[in-house]
A and B are shown apart, each in its own frame.
Chain A
Amino acid sequence: MTAARVGVVTFPGTLDDQDAARAVGLVGAQAVPLWHADHDLKGVDAVFLPGGFSYGDYLRCGAISRFAPLMEELIPAARAGLPVLGTCNGFQILCEAHLLPGALTRNASLHYVCRDQRVRIESADTAWTGAFEAGQEIVLPVKHGEGRYVASAETLAELESAGRVVVRYVGGNPNGSMNDIAGIRNEAGNVVGLMPHPEHAVEDLVGAPSTDGLGFFTSILKKLVNA
């Protein structure tokens, strides 16, 4: 059996690509580097859009990246069902690309925040959260300056009623997100965006004092192997 291949995208200014690739490798999947300027998804089975400051986060986070040649391939593929997880800057790009609704705006505190955050998995029926149980609380680091999720009242109502809020902050909201939203999914459940960083919570020795992030990677592996 060949290993599940998870693409990890690098834009100019991407920071967490190696971390994401390492996490993919830790669960036994194969990380495939994808370059922003290529029109080529290299036939991967899933895509991880990592965090960072693509294009310096100038203009708005993710605003310039979403026009990258690679995104021209990724957007239709995601619409067709390719599993995609965007974390932090990756989430921002997914919103800018309209693969996910709403937007991520300046933290209410106006400060960048780096902390270990308790969150609740609200939905275990996505490609990236199958290894969790709904309602499970875990700890993941957040580290961002623009993570306050906002959307129109209708969009919020739709997200809530359709169970599309995937992860919610508990025990304190680090950025003022509406409804304490930390992550959401598209209707089909293949595209997920979240502000916290699972890839920084996968090893005892380094990163956040938790290995709870592993679940996102085992989820996609299980999903791909069973597919």
Chain B
Amino acid sequence: MSTDSVSRAEGTPDEPMPYAELGMKREEYDRVREILGRRPTGSELAIYSVMWSEHCSYKSSKVHLKQFATKAPKSEALLVGMGENAGVVDIGDGWAATFKIESHNHPSYVEPHQGAATGVGGIVRDIMSMGARPIAVMDALRFGGADQDDTRRVLPGVVEGISHYGNCLGLPNIGGEVVFDPCYIGNPLVNALCVGLLRKDQIKLAVAPGPGNKVVLFGASTGPDGIGGASVLASATFEDESHAKRPAVQVGDPFMEKLLIECCLELYAADVVVGIQDLGAAGVSCATTELAAKGTGGMHVDLNLVPLRDPSLVPEEILMSESQERMMAVVRPADIDAFMAICERWDVPATVIGEVTDTGRLVMTWNGETIVDIPPGTAADEGPVYERPLHEPAGQVALNSDTPDGLARPADLRATLLQLLGSPNLASKEWVTGQYDRYVRSNTVLAQPADAGMLRISEAIAGAEPTTRGIALSTDGNGRYAKLDPYAGAQLALAEAYRNVAVTGAKPLAVTNCLNFGSPEDPEVMWQFAEAVRGLADACRTLGVPVTGGNVSFYNQTGSTPIHPTPVVGVLGVIDDVAKRVPTGFTGEGLRVALLGETSAEFGGSEWAHVVHGHLGGLPPQANLVAEQALGAVLVEAARRGLLEGSHDLSDGGLAIALAESCLARGVGATVALSGEPFTDLFSESASRALVVVRPESFDELAALCFEHEVPCYGLGVTGGTSLVVEDVLEVPVEELRATHTGTLPALFG
């Protein structure tokens, strides 16, 4: 049977098309017919179905995500906002940073190693496509219960995939999270973040201007990767059984991606790229429609020219293939030779597959026949938008009334400290981070176990002007808090990431986020989503940090049971003089320990309630953003003045865990005294708090600075010795803390 061409479609208007199998609603299909004035060809249907999918079109989330723009605080730092491959912020001295976090949840459940690896690969290409050199990655992970069987399958594979791909690219891994909760069994979350640097005047965008310019596909060849949907189409259109079983798993080739990085940077330096786009989900469909839609509006592509790994692929499959390690560039004809020479130097295959036109149409041919002829904007930008119904979950009120007030308080606080410290969520993550290269490129100022990762930037791009500046990044999120109150939970995620950046001495500047939720077709999930977005947008406005980009991952559920709503927030900050970074924890003996911020009895969603009682109920800690901002201001100013010898934020597990981790950082003990009720002082999870250590002679200046910013400052004690001593309450040798902290994950995962 011959290809389903435009002329054939015109002649067979009533031929049934498998739109439903491709996940399209009847109304959506009708709209395509209306746009085209005829039935779509198989290839056109392939394009519209992927471009209008939830993943590419954000059709369920768009109406809510708008708030990130409408409520955005004024920020002079924002150079490129939401809507591009990644946001770009001005970090001073002519430098800009671009960063983004993205999910690869479902593929990582199906094939943990490859799923996680290609998650890293995808986000790195997003950063490359902004014209930047990727300089580091982070990974925020959620798994089922640590002792559940499937976690033992998924976690080692995910970590190995991230490790292998990131290490091969030569990108240091500077932070992340590992969280266990039975709600993620069957739906692990793998959120990967990449940050890149570029000169402010070198930003690249995904545009295809200038009729006559060439469209170049470069990198790996195209194979039948991730085209489950397309195979339906191909087999339906071609009645060919062999296409029915195409694999859904994408396999990554980090070596090719490393070559692509170096190749792209040389292409940028040679100024032979007019527009560029990475190929991610929806591959060639997405790259061509988006490039064309943002340029002069027209493009002609000969699909026969796409280099194939498997020669049996048909146009629909080529259009939907998610083969990794591919990029598309728009190049002036005069620069083509130079472009190709650079690709050849890096052993990167490159092929001209079409050219930019001024017709306003995206036209594709196959064996000389026209198989696609569409206005590209209708696929790229004018997808359906849904205002989905939402309502508060039926059990929400009951959940919130089931407070932790009635839970038995522990008699033995020492035992409670050790129980929490060795619990999977609070235990050392070294089993994971030890598999990641944190040193490569020699720009890593802080990495695990620091609260935020930090990089110096002056040497990231050869030949650029030096600067003393550095950037810091942290990602945080707490599904239990968000389950109790998605509005507050999203704010608390932002607050924690903001605090983690500030404790290192960097000033928080901008935000990225990955919103992991259940099905948007479930009104209760949609309510959680809407609340979380509203909370995050409001908090960003109060804290003065704009959202620059992010990603939404829906359908994280098993049957009708969704995961806890899990907004993961990444914050990027800038430190003017990276030599003044504040290291984590107790860095020496004889230092004064101070607690900044106010503590009240807040145990809803706490690690204590979770670990000791398996309880989730009540309300999460209060998100006091004004207090958070004041704390941040104190930390940044104190670091600037060189007052801080060490610091650590308070979060999961409260003061007790922060003290223990601070001792573990360098093996230095401390003796502290509490002023309030010991259990609350030690285990409450009140937000907006941090521990700092200062030389004794600096304490008064710190206290005065805190007073000025209305941040409570309590002298707790001094560092030194080989034990953590909480006077009249508990005493634990640092070595015992260490054994408890480091033993858990190796015992679970080998």
> Which chain A residues have a beta carbon within 8 Å of chain B's beta carbons?
12-13, 15-16, 18-19, 22, 52-53, 55-58, 111-115, 141, 143, 145, 197, 199-200, 203, 205-208
**B442/A203 in contact, CB under 8 A:** yes
Determine which of A18, A114, A199 lies in contact with B437 in the assembled complex, contact meaning CB atoms within 8 Å: A114
Chain B 654-682 against A: per-residue CB contact (8 Å), 1 yes, 0 no? Answer: 00000000000000000000000000000
Query: Can you list 20 A-B pairs with a CB-CB distance of less than 8 A?
Result: A12-B346, A13-B168, A13-B255, A13-B258, A15-B440, A19-B442, A22-B459, A56-B168, A56-B253, A56-B254, A56-B258, A58-B255, A113-B435, A114-B433, A114-B434, A141-B439, A143-B440, A197-B439, A200-B440, A207-B439
Extra A-B contacts (11), CB below 8 Å, given A114-B438, A206-B444? A13-B258, A18-B441, A18-B442, A18-B462, A22-B442, A53-B167, A57-B168, A112-B167, A197-B439, A199-B442, A208-B439
Say how far A37's CB is from chain B's closest CB, in angstroms.
8
**A114/B435 in contact, CB under 8 A:** yes
Say how far A113's CB is from chain B's closest CB, in angstroms.
6
**B442/A114 in contact, CB under 8 A:** no
Chain A, residue nearest B578 (CB)? A205
Q: Does B403 contact A (CB under 8 A)?
A: no
How many chain-B residues does the 8 Å CB contact rule pick out? Answer: 32
Q: How far is the CA of A219 from the CA of B254 in the complex (A)?
A: 35
Q: How far is the CA of A69 from the CA of B444 in the complex (A)?
A: 33
Chain B 427-458 against A: per-residue CB contact (8 Å), 1 yes, 0 no? Answer: 00000011111111111110000000000100
Say how far A102's CB is from chain B's closest CB, in angstroms.
24
Q: Does B118 contact A (CB under 8 A)?
A: no
Chain B, residue nearest A37 (CB)? B345
Say how far A163's CB is from chain B's closest CB, in angstroms.
30
> Which chain B residues have a beta carbon within 8 Å of chain A's beta carbons?
160, 163-164, 167-168, 170, 253-256, 258-259, 346-347, 433-445, 456, 459, 462, 578-579
**A112/B435 in contact, CB under 8 A:** yes
Name the B residues within 8 Å of A55 (CB-CB): 255
Say how far A11's CB is from chain B's closest CB, in angstroms.
11
Chain A, residue nearest B156 (CB)? A111
Say how far B491's CB is from chain A's closest CB, in angstroms.
34
**A16/B164 in contact, CB under 8 A:** no
Say how far B456's CB is from chain A's closest CB, in angstroms.
6
Chain B, residue nearest A204 (CB)? B579
Q: How far is the CA of A112 from the CA of B162 in the complex (A)?
A: 11
Say how far B152's CB is from chain A's closest CB, in angstroms.
15
Determine which of B438, B440, B462, B578 lies in contact with A19 in the assembled complex, contact meaning CB atoms within 8 Å: B440
Chain B, residue nearest A109 (CB)? B750
**B439/A115 in contact, CB under 8 A:** no
Q: How far is the CA of A12 from the CA of B443 in the complex (A)?
A: 21
Name the B residues within 8 Å of A197 (CB-CB): 439
Say how far A36's CB is from chain B's closest CB, in angstroms.
10
**B440/A16 in contact, CB under 8 A:** yes
Name the B residues within 8 Å of A143 (CB-CB): 167, 437, 439-440
**A56/B255 in contact, CB under 8 A:** yes
Known contacts: A56-B254, A114-B434. The answer to whether A15 contacts B170 by CB under 8 A is: yes
Determine which of B256, B259, B434, B444 lies in contact with A113 in the assembled complex, contact meaning CB atoms within 8 Å: B434
Say how far A24's CB is from chain B's closest CB, in angstroms.
12
Chain B, residue nearest A35 (CB)? B345
Q: How far is the CA of A12 from the CA of B347 in the complex (A)?
A: 8
Chain B, residue nearest A16 (CB)? B440
Say how far B750's CB is from chain A's closest CB, in angstroms.
9
Say how far A86's CB is from chain B's closest CB, in angstroms.
17
Q: How far is the CA of A22 from the CA of B397 in the complex (A)?
A: 60
Name the A residues within 8 Å of B168 (CB-CB): 13, 53, 56-57
Say how far A74's CB is from chain B's closest CB, in angstroms.
20
Chain B, residue nearest A57 (CB)? B168
Interface centre among B167, B168, B346, B439, by most chain A C-beta atoms within 10 angstroms, is B439
**B255/A12 in contact, CB under 8 A:** yes
Q: How far is the CA of A114 from the CA of B256 in the complex (A)?
A: 23
Name the B residues within 8 Å of A56 (CB-CB): 168, 253-256, 258
Known contacts: A57-B168, A206-B445. The answer to whether A114 contacts B436 by CB under 8 A is: yes
Name the B residues within 8 Å of A114 (CB-CB): 433-439
**B445/A112 in contact, CB under 8 A:** no
**B440/A205 in contact, CB under 8 A:** no
**A207/B434 in contact, CB under 8 A:** no
Name the A residues within 8 Å of B441 (CB-CB): 15, 18-19
Name the B residues within 8 Å of A18 (CB-CB): 441-442, 459, 462
Chain A, residue nearest B167 (CB)? A112
Q: How far is the CA of A111 from the CA of B746 in the complex (A)?
A: 12
Name the B residues within 8 Å of A203 (CB-CB): 442
Say how far B642's CB is from chain A's closest CB, in angstroms.
15
Say how far B577's CB is from chain A's closest CB, in angstroms.
11
Interface centre among A18, A52, A206, A207, by most chain B C-beta atoms within 10 angstroms, is A206
Chain A, residue nearest B347 (CB)? A12
Q: How far is the CA of A213 from the CA of B179 in the complex (A)?
A: 36
Say how far B257's CB is from chain A's closest CB, in angstroms.
10
Q: How far is the CA of A141 from the CA of B437 in the complex (A)?
A: 10
Chain B, residue nearest A54 (CB)? B255
**A12/B163 in contact, CB under 8 A:** no
**B170/A52 in contact, CB under 8 A:** yes
Say how far A33's CB is from chain B's closest CB, in angstroms.
10
Say how far A174's CB is from chain B's closest CB, in angstroms.
10
Chain A, residue nearest B438 (CB)? A114
Name the A residues within 8 Å of B258 (CB-CB): 12-13, 15, 53, 56
Say how far B477's CB is from chain A's closest CB, in angstroms.
25
5 pairs of A and B residues whose beta carbons are closest in the complex? A56-B255, A15-B170, A19-B442, A200-B439, A53-B168
Determine which of A52, A112, A205 lies in contact with B456 in the assembled complex, contact meaning CB atoms within 8 Å: A205
Say how far A93's CB is from chain B's closest CB, in angstroms.
16
Name the A residues within 8 Å of B442 (CB-CB): 18-19, 22, 199-200, 203, 206-207
**B444/A207 in contact, CB under 8 A:** yes
